[in-house]
Amino acid sequence: MDTASANELLQEAARRAIVYVQSVRDRPVTASAQALQRLDELKHSLPRTGLEAGEVLRRLDEIGSPATIATAGGRYFGLVIGGALPATIAANWLATAWDQNACFRWTSPIVATLEDVSLRWLGDLFGLSGGVGGAFVTGASMANLAALASARHALLSRLDWDVEARGLYGAPELRVIVSEEVHITVLKALSLLGLGRERVIRVPTDRQGRMRIDGLPALDDRTIVCIQAGNVNTGSFDPATEICRLAKDAGAWVHADGAFGLWALASPDFAALTKDFAEPDSWATDGHKWLNVPYDSGIVLVRRAANLRAAMSASAAYLAEGVAGNREPSHYTPESSRRARGVEIWAALLNLGRDGVAALVERTCRHARAFAQGLEAHGFEILNDVVLNQVLVSFGSPETTRAVIGHLQAEGICWCGGTVWQGRTAMRISVSNWATTEADVQLSIEAIVRIAGSIAAGICT
Ligand SMILES: *Cc1c(COP(=O)(O)O)cnc(C)c1O
């Protein structure tokens, strides 16, 4: 492709992307049946000769864009899904053009530098005392894995066992304590690490899903305790103060899964909720949820960087640091070649600043409270204490609640998912997107109330 054609193609891609970004807030959240039908047009065999690049782009946009779910708009409240701040889309575009391999400092000095800077800023933002290590991975799943690998390394090396070299065959046994409300990705990480998904000790939780301290077994220096900052249903936080104090006395490792909740550490409004979440030995969080950077983006943080490095290094020889004292990114990640996802984290943090991150968290939580108040005012039951950005609503019987969710999703004004919370079927509303406005919340409440009313009146089932 010559330079002029490449220029034209990239301009056209930017133009189409901008049209998408501008229209995503106003279109239905779900893809229409017609849009899904058109996906069949993509299911042909691989052509013998390739298509012109402009035609590839045109097809992608014309068939692809309508078949997306508008998670980037302001009225998608399923799972815990953020949007993408314009500053991060822009940074992503430029970084994609750079096409850097973030593996080493010498393959990309700029990306290694932005990772260093972002890690320092994150440590600062979360109030973690100096020298935390970290890495930029695909999501909290991989961050949980990297953090728990660090824990496994630290506890076993203290027992003179080199787990990276010798594996778990014949190793001293470790104990892993989780809560009944542990996220499945923590269990998956444990299964990948040979620590066993089912071999964990599960601590019971209270009505908000918080670990009950009176159910916590005695800790020792062969124990990893997994706590949670932000329950996916209720938004609640485990009692970090007591757990971290007991763990410190016993020499146990505390890992905090804070995929979205960790960002609440940025706002003084949530100081009571987040108290002592700076105390654990490791943390997992996501950039692509509450920080609102594009997929995929997770962050692992480990208090003593050496533990992450020892767990993630490919081999002692492979490893020699490039330039003395400089962090070599690949020594801290499960992957080798990687895209430059630190760039978007850096862009988000620089664009928002400390106050902007706090404001984003505070605003979305205010929207969550507005949902709870608005729906409660119409006589619907809120099942959780709305301490963060998650709201659970019941519309009566499980069948009725499921019917409301089904109609709401099909209509497409907004999108909320379903869950079962402590035996009760509920609609779950997660407000995590920077783009959500008060008008979006009001429009969504109206749609929910109208649909619930129709179902109650027997107009639809
Ligand atoms: C979303 C989430 C995860 C998994 O994160 P991914 O980014 O999907 O890998 C883990 N823990 C909690 C609490 C979550 O909300």
Q: Which residues pair with 176 in a beta bridge?
A: 224
Report d(CA 194, CA 268) in Å as an integer. 39
Mean pLDDT of 143-163: 98
The pLDDT of residue 318 is 46
Distance 372 CA to ligand 1 centre (A): 23
Mean pLDDT of 97-117: 97
Residue 325 — pLDDT band, cuts 50, 70, 90?
A: low
Amino acid at position 223, single letter: T
Residue 417 burial (CB count, 10 A):
17
Q: Using the structure block, give the residue that is written with the tokens 């994609």.
A: 96
Ligand 1 atom with the smallest distance to the CA of 298 is: 7
Ligand 1 atom with the smallest distance to the CA of 142 is: 9
Nearest CA to ligand 1 atom 14: 259
Report d(CA 409, CA 390) in Å as an integer. 18
The pLDDT of residue 316 is 60
Q: Using the structure block, give the residue that is written with the tokens 């209270």.
A: 206
Sort strands 133-137 and 298-302 into parallel, antiparallel or unpaired: antiparallel
Find the angle CA(164)-CA(167)-CA(172) to the nearest 5 degrees. Answer: 105
CA dihedral 121, 126, 131, 132 (to 10 degrees): -100
The string over 175-211, giving b where at least 16 C-beta atoms fall within 10 Å of a residue's C-beta and e elsewhere, is: bbbbbebbbebbbebbebbebeeeebeebebeebbbb
Cis peptide before 249 (omega within 30 of 0): no
Report d(CA 412, CA 35) in Å as an integer. 14
Distance 136 CA to ligand 1 centre (A): 15
157 near 354, Cβ under 8 Å?
Answer: no
CA dihedral 204, 210, 216, 219 (to 10 degrees): 140
**Ligand 1 within 6 A of 291 CB?**
no
What pLDDT digit, counting tens, does each position of 348-389 carry?
A: 999 999 999 999 999 999 999 999 999 999 999 999 999 999
Q: Is the pTM of this model over 0.95?
A: yes
Q: Which residues pair with 203 in a beta bridge?
A: 179
Report d(CA 143, CA 116) in Å as an integer. 17
Phi, psi dihedral angles at 424 (to 5 degrees): -110, 130
Average pLDDT, the chain: 96
Ligand 1 atom with the smallest distance to the CA of 296 is: 7
Contacts of 356 (CB under 8 A, 6+ apart): none
Ligand 1 atom with the smallest distance to the CA of 288 is: 7
Classify residue 412 as left (phi > 0), alpha (psi -120 to 50) or beta: left
What pLDDT digit, counting tens, does each position of 13-55 carry?
A: 999 999 999 999 999 999 999 999 999 999 999 999 999 999 9
Judged against a pLDDT cut of 60, whether residue 264 lies above it is answered with: yes
Q: Which of 136, 257, 293, 432 to mutate to test ligand 1, by most ligand atoms within 8 A of the CB atom?
A: 257
Q: How far is CA 236 from CA 122, 224, 315, 319, 388, in A?
A: 22, 21, 40, 40, 7
Amino acid at position 109, single letter: P
Residue ranges in 251-332 assigned as alpha helix (H) = 271-274, 305-312, 316-319
Report d(CA 351, CA 88) in Å as an integer. 9
Judged against a pLDDT cut of 50, whether residue 257 lies above it is answered with: yes
**Ligand 1 within 6 A of 183 CB?**
yes
Q: How far is CA 222 from CA 99, 202, 219, 308, in A?
A: 43, 16, 8, 18
361 near 371, Cβ under 8 Å?
Answer: no
57 near 9, Cβ under 8 Å?
Answer: yes
Share of the chain above pLDDT 90, in %: 95
Phi, psi dihedral angles at 199 (to 5 degrees): -85, 5
Distance 284 CA to ligand 1 centre (A): 9
Q: Which of 146, 367, 126 is nearest to 267 (CA)?
A: 126
Helix %, strand %, coil % for the chain, to 5? 50, 15, 40
The pLDDT of residue 458 is 86
Report d(CA 45, CA 6) in Å as an integer. 26
Q: Using the structure block, give the residue that is written with the tokens 């692992």.
A: 300
188-192, 209-213, 326-330: least confidently modelled range: 326-330
What is the Cα gyration radius of the chain?
A: 23
